[in-house]
């Protein structure tokens, strides 16, 4: 009879801490792996996959540049903010201008801000 994941989890739950440590050491030795290395590699591998599959982008204004008035106008157009709010966002650079944008919208907004003289990043 094969053990299920639930059977294994229940068996581990009934063990003392020392028994779990010994089990981990035995598994590392049997399979030639390190649990610490697996934990460290897990997020890195997942992070690379997430970066490839990113569908939403944040538009971040890193610097307003010399043509601040043009940048404020572009921020107002992109976000629909009022003059005071847009000026505050530009003055507060680096600042996130808009979050969760599609790739196409984010690229268009980035181009518009760069043409206005700003420095912009997509995250």
105-121 confidence digits (pLDDT tens): 888 988 998 898 888 88
Q: Which two tokens stand for residue 114?
A: 């760069």
* Model confidence band, residue 38 (pLDDT cutoffs 50, 70, 90): low
pLDDT at 2 (0 to 100): 84
What's the rounded Cα separation, in Å, for the pair 80 and 85? 10
**What DSSP element (H or E) covers 100?**
strand 95-101
Report the percent of the chain where pLDDT is more than 70. Answer: 84
Residues in CB range of 98: below 8 A, 6 or more apart = 58, 59, 78, 79, 106, 109
Residues in CB range of 101: below 8 A, 6 or more apart = 56, 57, 58, 59, 109
In DSSP notation, 30-65 reads HHT--HHHHHHHHHHHHHHHHHHT---EEEEEEE--
- Mean per-residue pLDDT for 61-83? 88
């Amino acid at each position: 009879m094969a053990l299920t994941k639930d059977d294994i989890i229940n068996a581990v739950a009934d063990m003392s801490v020392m028994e779990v440590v010994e089990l981990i050491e035995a598994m590392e030795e049997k399979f030639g792996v390190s649990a610490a290395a697996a934990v460290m590699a897990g997020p890195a591998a997942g992070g690379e996959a997430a970066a490839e599959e990113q569908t939403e982008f944040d538009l971040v204004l890193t610097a307003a540049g010399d043509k601040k008035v043009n940048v404020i106008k572009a921020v107002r157009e992109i976000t629909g903010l009022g003059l005071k709010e847009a000026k505050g966002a530009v003055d507060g650079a680096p600042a996130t201008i808009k979050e969760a944008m599609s790739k196409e919208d984010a690229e268009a907004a980035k181009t518009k801000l760069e043409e206005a003289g700003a420095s912009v990043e997509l995250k």
